[in-house]
Amino acid sequence: MSEPERRRITIDPVTRLEGHGRIEICLDERGEVDRAYFQVPELRGFEKFCEGRLAEDMPQITSRICGVCPTAHHMASVKALDSLYQVDPPPAAKKIRELVYSTFMAEDHILHFYFLGGPDFIVGPSAPAAERNVLGVIAKVGVEVGRKVITTRRKLRELSALAGGKAIHPVLGLPGGVAKALKREDQARFCEVAKETVDFALFTLDTFEKVVLKNTDYVNLILSDTFTHRTYYMGMVDKSNQINFYDGPIRVVSPSGEEFIKFRSESYLDYLTEHVEPWTYMKFCFLKPVGWKGFTEGPESGVYCVAPLARLNASERMATPLAQEAREQFYATLGSKPVHHTLANHWARIVELLYAAERMQELSADPQIIDPHVRTLPIATPREGIGVVEAPRGTLIHHYQTDEKGIIRKANLIVATQNNAARIALGVEKTAKAFIRAGNISDGILNMVEMTFRAYDPCLGCATHSMPGNMPLNIRVRDRQGRILAILQRDSEGRIHKR
């Protein structure tokens, strides 16, 4: 072969995210990044083995797609069952579902901010690797705060189990309602913890302001072109275009912020499409009316974005007062809407945490939440159902077709991170290009590349909880045939060694 050999940098496995991932970076002869690929090396094939299963088992089977956001799959699935059986759950059941869902969203956003994404800011993007984790966070903000994080999370998990049987892989959802009514003493507990969670969200917002917003370097990093992508944004809204996690139409805004489309979840196939690449098991979603133009941004490209930042951009306001205030500050600080800065996801996530906590408070105080009537028995013949929720990591779609006995014939699933897959791929390449120059690599550089995907909290990486200890990283430099030319090691002190 006469083709010139190209240097290759492989990060395998990508760590501190849920699931299996790998980054391949190809350098040109000058050591500049030519291309970078974000690969997912695994497939479990749920869409196939859901065939033949009973529809009512789907909320429990599909929750096993992700043990970090099982409640999201559970709810999307049970909403698909409502639609499948054309059954409307009683008001109390809907409220219990949304209460459990808000509890889950709050817990999940806390997990990401303190255990995964937050350390890059609270401890620092170029702090020694060994400190860039939850223990580093605790060292920075104090043991008392660390304890508060753990305790708040535990209480939210206990509430999820109280209402749903299990916090991981809950069992409450049935077509037409929930398996169990809430009791008066359960309601009191929810009210109590909801109040604490609102306070904790406000504390988290305050911490973010002190640590990140008062630091010019961080603000410049957030605003830098490297972490900026002008794409479409998508999220679920209520009838007043306020963010809603549990129900409502899907709204998409253009890169300039105008409403592009708004559709009912039942018609998702008219608007969302998946693209297949041979080099990864993950499919890439794009907007059908715009089309797939490759891994590019701008109004001509169908690439779009979901999750906290996208939900803020795709909505007009928050439905609760404190979260709305926080949202106004978000846009006042970061400039006009839509905000295209990927790292702003961390801030948007805390605004959403506050909304989830306030929504918990509203729902748990609702007298109707303890109404014992929580089931409407389905009687219609099942045929087809579509259910959509906003998972912590973005819009999640379950679509089932069954026979008349409710046996699944076809299942189609679009999971949150797939919506972001193309933008994550774009982002990883952009940061690699910006930071890896003339073949030079350092710990800080590697962390910048990692921070790109970490901002999205990708669902191949939802279970993200840093642990104390050393955090070295290895990069293998390969030639085109995959032979290792050099191994770069980042040790626990953040020093780079070449072997």
Partner 1 sequence: MSDKPKVAFYWCASCGGCEETVVDLEEKLLDVVAAVDIVYWPVALDFKRHELETMPDGSIVATFLNGAIRTTEQEEMAQLLRKKSQLLFAFGSCSHLGGIPGLANLWDRERILPTVYRESPSTPNPEGTVPRRVSKVNGDALSLPGLFDTVRTLDQVVDVDYYVPGCPPTPKILLAALDALLNGKLPEKGTVLAPDQALCEECPRKESRPEQLSLAEVKRPHQVLIDETTCLLAQGVLCLGPATRAGCEALCVKGNMPCTGCFGPTSRVKDFGGKALSAMASVAGGKDEAEIARAFENIPDSVGTFYRYSLPSSLLRRKRLEAGR
Binding test (CB under 8 A) with partner 1, winner from 175, 235, 387, 392 = 175
- One DSSP character per residue, 283-339 reads -EEEETTT---SS--STTS--EE-SHHHHHHHSSB-SSHHHHHHHHHHHHHH-SSSP
- What order of strands is seen across the sheet that includes strand 384-391? 384-391, 394-402, 408-414
Segment contacting partner 1 by CB under 8 A, of 174-182, 298-306, 314-322, 339-347:
174-182
In which residue are the tokens 């072969």 written? 1
Sites for partner 1 among residues 73-102 (CB under 8 A): 81, 85
Sites for partner 1 among residues 398-427 (CB under 8 A): 399, 405-407, 410, 412, 414
Closer residue to partner 1 (CB): 166 or 230: 166
For residue 239, give the 3-state DSSP assignment: coil
Distance separating alpha carbons of residues 355 and 330, to the nearest angstrom:
14
CB 15 within 8 A of CB 366: no
Task: Kindly state the DSSP code that residue 348 receives in the 8-state scheme.
Answer: H
Min. distance of Cβ 239 from partner 1 in angstroms?
A: 26
Task: Kindly state the DSSP code that residue 481 receives in the 8-state scheme.
Answer: T
Q: How many residues bind partner 1 (CB under 8 A)?
A: 109
Binding test (CB under 8 A) with partner 1, winner from 456, 473, 477, 494 = 473
Distance separating alpha carbons of residues 175 and 159, to the nearest angstrom:
22
Segment contacting partner 1 by CB under 8 A, of 10-18, 232-240, 353-361, 419-427:
10-18
Determine, following the binding rule CB under 8 A, whether residue 8 of this chain makes contact with partner 1: yes
Determine, following the binding rule CB under 8 A, whether residue 49 of this chain makes contact with partner 1: yes
Determine, following the binding rule CB under 8 A, whether residue 276 of this chain makes contact with partner 1: yes
Binding test (CB under 8 A) with partner 1, winner from 91, 125, 165, 439 = 165
Determine, following the binding rule CB under 8 A, whether residue 238 of this chain makes contact with partner 1: no
CB 263 within 8 A of CB 250: yes
Binding test (CB under 8 A) with partner 1, winner from 45, 216, 239, 498 = 45
Segment contacting partner 1 by CB under 8 A, of 146-154, 222-230, 363-371, 433-441:
146-154
Binding test (CB under 8 A) with partner 1, winner from 9, 23, 33, 37 = 37
Min. distance of Cβ 180 from partner 1 in angstroms?
A: 4
Write out 408-475 in H/E/C secondary structure.
Answer: EEEEEEECHHHHHHHHHHHHHHHHHHHHCCCCCCCHHHHHHHHHHHHHHCCHHHCCCCCCCCCCCEEE
Min. distance of Cβ 423 from partner 1 in angstroms?
A: 18
CB 45 within 8 A of CB 26: no
Closer residue to partner 1 (CB): 136 or 378: 378
Residue 72 Cα to chain centre, angstroms: 11
**Phi, psi torsion values for 65, nearest 5 degrees:** -65, -40
Min. distance of Cβ 340 from partner 1 in angstroms?
A: 26
Instruction: Kindly give, in sequence order, each residue whose CB lies less than 8 Å from that of residue 4, ignoring residues fewer than 6 positions away.
Output: 29
Determine, following the binding rule CB under 8 A, whether residue 294 of this chain makes contact with partner 1: no
Sites for partner 1 among residues 348-387 (CB under 8 A): 375, 377-378
In which residue are the tokens 């290895």 written? 474
Residue 12 Cα to chain centre, angstroms: 22
Min. distance of Cβ 285 from partner 1 in angstroms?
A: 8
Segment contacting partner 1 by CB under 8 A, of 238-246, 332-340, 347-355, 474-482:
474-482
Distance separating alpha carbons of residues 387 and 81, to the nearest angstrom:
7
Min. distance of Cβ 323 from partner 1 in angstroms?
A: 26
Determine, following the binding rule CB under 8 A, whether residue 185 of this chain makes contact with partner 1: no
Determine, following the binding rule CB under 8 A, whether residue 279 of this chain makes contact with partner 1: yes
Closer residue to partner 1 (CB): 48 or 495: 48
Min. distance of Cβ 329 from partner 1 in angstroms?
A: 31
For the record, the structure tokens of 274 come out as: 């998946």
- Residue 405's CB is within 10 A of a number of other CB atoms, namely 9
Determine, following the binding rule CB under 8 A, whether residue 274 of this chain makes contact with partner 1: yes
Q: What's at 446, amino acid-wise?
A: L
Sites for partner 1 among residues 110-139 (CB under 8 A): 111, 115, 129, 133
Task: Kindly state the DSSP code that residue 237 receives in the 8-state scheme.
Answer: B
Distance separating alpha carbons of residues 75 and 416, to the nearest angstrom:
13
Determine, following the binding rule CB under 8 A, whether residue 438 of this chain makes contact with partner 1: no
